A and B are shown apart, each in its own frame.
Chain A
Amino acid sequence: MTRDTRHALLSFFGTLLCRAADGTLVQRPIAAGGAVEASTLATRPVAGTRLVSVVQDGMLLRADPDGQHVTFDREVASAHEHFLPIPEADLTQLRHLLEGTWLARRADAAPQPVACTLGHGFELLVGTERFALPAQLPLSGPALPLRVSLLAEGWSHVTLCRFRPLVLYTAFADGAVLSQLAVSLRSLVTHGAYDGGILILSDFTQGDIERIAGTLAPARLEVIPFLPADKVGFHCARYALPMVPGAAEFQPILYADADNVFDLPVAPMLHEIACATRIMAAAEDFAPRATMESVGARMIDPAQAGTTLGFNSGLLGIPNLVEHADTLGLVARLAANRCDVFGRQHSRWIDQPIANYVDAARGGFETAAMTRRVRWGYEGVCADRASRRGVVHFWPPRPGEGKDEAMRDYLRKLDG
């Protein structure tokens, strides 16, 4: 224990050593407050471990298996007399681990949602897998508190990724967009079986959106008023996500244009995004970066572009904002700078070529996984279950009401 860090003491039974109102020592659940500061007690290290025993008048403190009582009544330390000093920051992160749903990212398996619990004997159970808690301290990871590195058997590296998804839409000004959003939302919660939160940046009111959201519970839907001046503002609103209060607590965040229809449960896709290290987007098989302006041909050196396909920015799987706000901010900054120099009408495609340029210059995006899950709605799309991949993006736009009708028609087929 270092002197300058406050430590709590965790018992063999996964409880915290606390002080009751009358000053006596007790065990309490880890979620409770009031942990005793370890340095206020006399402790003795347990040789060859990170554990300690608590001593008073030559007697050792024993934690009772009832998870509540403790007594100074032992002369020899065995398991029940062992306590793990745990720094305050780690205790906070540990509580965080025990509260939510997590995904274990390993080199050799697809991520599955698991709950974390504390077992007896200072074990952290991740699903059914056991980790020695002392070996995990101090808890660290590439993007705390959303990603935590654990060591199985003291060395085998596993990253736990918090699963707290958010789906983000933007919808502005246009009645057709509202109608598309209605179809997309309904597909998301029915065929997509999505039961998490939905955030919409919009110049429509919460009431407008709730009216078209059908049976979707209003509590799951938050509309943040956003007032872009023009089409540039509409398209780039998604990059304002890092400025939305609380958005950084989510992992993953799926941004969807309103013209996406979900035709399979979205959970596997969300799990994949939550564990990804880069922003996921679907490659357009019809859009080479070297030649198509829509994916950055005017900005990217053709020699560098080679035969790479560009991606569509209408469906973005953002693992988290801790690691990726920077990339989103860079796209927004370049869009603003280019508009300043070339005018706000200089590009029909606005953000998408820039996102592709940022990827070509700096990386930060990946396309393989999302491409497998997306079909394009520019030609008739088959709705039978074997043909579905997860999402149909009704792109490119069709004249008049064509896109709305195509989306509604596809949803009818899914419902049928």
Chain B
Amino acid sequence: MSGGGTLLTASGAILSEDDAGVFAAPFALAARLRPVEVPAAEAAATPQLLRFLGDRDVPQTTLSEGPLAGCTLGPGARRGTWALRRGETLLGPGTDGRLAAMPRTRPTDADSLLLLTPGDLRLLRDILDNAWVRRSTAGRVDEARIALAFPFLLEIEGARHDLRHHLPFQGARLPHRVNLFRDAWRLDELCLLRPLVTVTCFGEAEAARLAGFLGSLREAGGFAGHVLVVTERSPEAVFTLLDGSDTRDILVRTMADAGGAVARILARYGALDAASLIAFQPILMLDTQVVVERPLAPVLEALALCDRIAAPLAPKVARLHAPLSGLGMLQRDGIDCGAIAAVDPAVLGVPNLAMAAPALALLRRIVADRAIRAGDAPVPPWLESEVVNYVAFAGGQPFDTHLLTGFVGGPGEGAVLTRHVTDEEGRATRLGPRRHDAVAGAPGLRVEEPAGSP
């Protein structure tokens, strides 16, 4: 059978089978054993909402296949739970965990079961096996602080959540964000913390900075997660560059045709299209002009809770005077930008890819179209910044400009992420994050072109 439901006991074990029969296996081991599958028809018994509207309890169902063939599933001790019977005999996990006849006719919690759909089972495993950020506390919850408990409880840092009130898991943002109902109704949320940092590395100058960037990310940033290097180089060439560095969890996305400035912009955002990246949340997009100087965890935890793409304000880029701020595009669209500064695309926070996909697709389409229109003429060096700013404020869902701003600073400012850029004379200068020192009419930034670009 495939796609069948799985039965969870009140203490969080999964009914599994071996040659000796059916037994309650610890949840963590169930994946390696053979869970008893209840055919899909039973698993999909009356949807929970329809049961609620009609105030109907679970119907009795006779199982026709598998080791429980001939048994019936009927109402358990509590609403939403099931009890297993063979004939009139109530079955439940015995003291040795084996399924056995119970010395009573009315089920208790100990004899009751929850029916998990395949999706519920997967998500429950994800919840127990990953680190999360809990919205109510805005704090990280390690997997060690999440457990199943009797009866039918999901314990998160000691707070108890009745699984009956959560199943089937529902939500448009699953599996990255899971609704929690404390006391059955108080809304809370678990946001997955499986971060990815991406860094673009094109040309010799950026290649020369890559090892330093990664060193700062691992050491000062304390970041132990995956890093995606978006580059024109092969993975071998990247690992050669990083010779002597810790290359664990380094992913390389080679964008072979990233030969010009536009192609590199498209590569930076196009690299996120890989299906495997959908598993990550959040994603922090950096470039090698950024140095990580302090622990990155607060940035990633805040980003995991965010509902929009986040970008820091770039206060020295006065919107009124700098083309890289996208002002021209916004004004021609009739959008009033007020006095707000522009955002700096060197640091972008993507809470999760599904949420950000429309904005990222729009951004790439505009850049690609501008390139086609430009033909052989060079595109302005501020193209990425201009388009990111346009999408940030006109793309349907405005970017969050608050979250990252406090984490990004110039050299010596003690921020988590230090941004180095070059001014018009090529000197290193600061791209300050402070909104209060925005200066109208300040010189525009020069976006450093990678060496060797046409």
B172 interfacial by beta-carbon distance below 8 Å = yes
Stretch at the interface among B88-96, B108-116, B366-374: B366-374
B56 interface residue, CB < 8 Å from A? yes
B394: chain A residues within 8 A (beta carbon): 107, 157
In the complex the two chains form, is A155's CB within 8 Å of B334's CB? no
> In the complex the two chains form, is A335's CB within 8 Å of B362's CB?
no
Q: A331–B222 Cα gap in the complex (Å)?
A: 40
| Residues 328-364 of A at the B interface (beta carbon under 8 Å) | 329-330, 332-341, 344, 354, 357-358, 361-362
In the complex, the chain B residue whose C-beta lies closest to that of A108 is: B334
Q: Does B390 contact A (CB under 8 A)?
A: yes
Q: How far is the CB of B440 from chain A (nearest CB, A)?
A: 24
Contact B358 A140 (CB under 8 A): yes
The reply to whether the CB of B329 lies closer than 8 angstroms to some CB of chain A is yes
Residues of chain A with a CB closer than 8 A to B164's CB = 340
Closest-by-CB residue of A relative to B171 is A326
| B178 smallest CB distance to A (angstroms) | 12
Residues of A contacting B48 in the complex (Cβ-Cβ under 8 angstroms): 333, 336
Q: Does A15 contact B (CB under 8 A)?
A: no
The answer to whether B396 and A159 have CB atoms under 8 Å apart is yes
In the complex, residue of chain B having the shortest beta-carbon distance to the beta carbon of A323? B172
> Is A151 touching B365 in the complex (CB atoms < 8 A)?
yes
A156 at the interface (CB under 8 A from B): yes
B372 touches A49 (CB 8 A): yes
| Docked pose: A323 CA to B396 CA in angstroms | 14
Are A141 and B369 in contact (CB-based, < 8 A)?
A: no
Q: Write out the residue numbers on chain A whose beta carbons fall within 8 Å of the beta carbon of B47.
A: 243
- Complex interface: stretch among A89-97, A115-123, A227-235, A306-314: A227-235
A135 on interface, CB distance cutoff 8 Å:
yes
CB closest chain-A residue, reference B368: A135
Complex Cα gap A237–B50 (Å)? 9
Q: Given A49-B372, A155-B366, A157-B394, are A336 and B329 neighbors across the interface (CB < 8 Å)?
A: no
Which A residues are in CB contact (< 8 Å) with B87?
none
Question: A residues within 8 A CB of B376?
Answer: 48
Q: Is B375 an interface residue (CB 8 A)?
A: yes
How far in angstroms is the closest Cβ of chain A from B52? 4
Which A residues between 228 and 261 are near B, CB-CB below 8 angstroms?
A: 228-230, 232-233, 236-237, 239-240, 243
A299 within 8 Å of B (CB atoms):
yes
Interface residues of A in 108-137 (CB under 8 A from B): 108, 134-136
Given A107-B334, A135-B369, A340-B79: A233 in contact with B329 (beta carbons within 8 A)? no
Does residue A187 face the partner (Cβ distance < 8 Å to B)? no
Report chain B residues within 8 Å CB of A335: 52
Interface-forming stretch among B181-189, B260-268, B274-282, B316-324? B181-189
The residue from B55, B358, B390 contacting A149, defined by CB atoms under 8 A apart: B358
Q: Are B362 and A239 in contact (CB under 8 A)?
A: no
Q: Does A229 lie within 8 Å of B183, measured CB to CB?
A: no
Considering the complex, which residues of chain B in the window 423-445 have a beta carbon less than 8 Å from any beta carbon of chain A?
Answer: none
B160-175 at interface with A (beta carbon < 8 Å): 164-165, 170-173
Q: Closest Cβ of chain B: how far from A201's Cβ, in Å?
A: 10
A171–B395 Cα distance when bound, in Å, is 40
Partner of B55 from A138, A151, A240, A344 at Cβ < 8 Å: A344
**Residues of A contacting B395 in the complex (Cβ-Cβ under 8 angstroms):** 157
Report whether B358 and A341 are in contact in the complex, using a CB–CB cutoff of 8 Å: no
User: In the complex, what residues of B have CB within 8 A of residue A323's CB?
Assistant: 172
Q: Which residues 331-390 in B have Cβ within 8 Å of A in the complex?
A: 332-335, 357-358, 361-362, 365-366, 369-370, 372-373, 375-376, 387, 390
Beta-carbon contact of A154 and B369 below 8 Å: yes
Task: Give Cα A267–Cα B47 distance, bound, in whole angstroms.
Answer: 35
> Which listed residue, B49, B55, B335, B362, touches A332 by the CB 8 Å rule?
B49
Q: What is the minimal beta-carbon distance from B413 to any residue of chain A, in angstroms?
A: 34
Interface size on B, residues (CB 8 A): 47
B54 within 8 A of A: yes
Complex: A106 Cα to B369 Cα, angstroms: 20
- Residues of chain B from 392 to 419 with CB closer than 8 A to chain A in the complex: 394-397
B53 at the interface (CB under 8 A from A): yes
Report if A176 contacts B (CB, 8 A): no
Closest to B390 in A: A155
Residue of B nearest to A228 (CB): B53
User: When the two chains form their complex, are residues B53 and A237 in contact, meaning their CB atoms are under 8 A apart?
Assistant: yes
Contacts of A389 in B (CB 8 A): none
Q: How far is the CB of A78 from chain B (nearest CB, A)?
A: 18
Most buried by A among B47, B80, B365, B397: B365
Q: Is the CB of A233 within 8 A of B372?
A: no
Whether A155 and B184, one on each chain, are in contact in the complex, defined by CB atoms closer than 8 angstroms, is no
A397 sits at the interface (CB 8 A): no
The residue from B55, B390, B397 contacting A233, defined by CB atoms under 8 A apart: B55
Q: Is residue B179 within 8 Å, beta carbon to beta carbon, of the partner chain?
A: yes
When distances are taken between beta carbons in the complex, the residues of chain A under 8 Å from B357 are 140
Given contacts A239-B49, A341-B185, contact A228 B54 (CB under 8 A): yes
Q: Does A325 contact B (CB under 8 A)?
A: yes
Judge if A142 is at the interface, Cβ distance under 8 Å: yes
Do B184 and A341 touch across chains, with their CB atoms under 8 A apart? yes
Q: Is the CB of B184 within 8 A of A154?
A: no
Residues of chain B within 8 A (CB-CB) of A108 are: 333-335
Indicate if the CB atoms of A151 and B372 lie closer than 8 Å.
Answer: no
A141-B358 contact in complex given A154-B370, A156-B332, A228-B54, C-beta closer than 8 Å = yes
Distance (whole angstroms) from the CB of B157 to the closest CB of chain A = 20
The answer to whether B54 and A149 have CB atoms under 8 Å apart is: no
B165 adjacent to A337 (CB under 8 Å): yes
Task: Return the CB mask of B49-65 against A: 1 if under 8 Å, else 0.
Answer: 11011111000000000
Cβ of A388 under 8 Å from chain B = no
Cβ of A50 under 8 Å from chain B: yes
Interface pair A332/B372, CB less than 8 Å apart? no
Known: A333-B170, A337-B165, A344-B55. A50 touches B362 (CB 8 A): no
17 A-B interface contacts by CB (under 8 A): A107-B394, A135-B365, A149-B358, A149-B361, A151-B369, A154-B366, A154-B369, A154-B373, A157-B333, A157-B362, A228-B53, A326-B173, A329-B49, A330-B170, A333-B165, A334-B187, A340-B165
If A140-B361, A329-B170 are given as contacts, then 13 extra A-B residue pairs at C-beta distance below 8 Å, sorted by A number, are A136-B365, A149-B358, A154-B369, A154-B370, A156-B332, A233-B54, A240-B53, A277-B397, A326-B170, A332-B49, A332-B52, A336-B48, A340-B184
Q: Sort A-B residue pairs by CB-CB distance and give the 10 closest, nearest first.
A: A108-B334, A229-B55, A154-B369, A336-B52, A326-B172, A337-B184, A233-B53, A140-B361, A361-B187, A135-B369
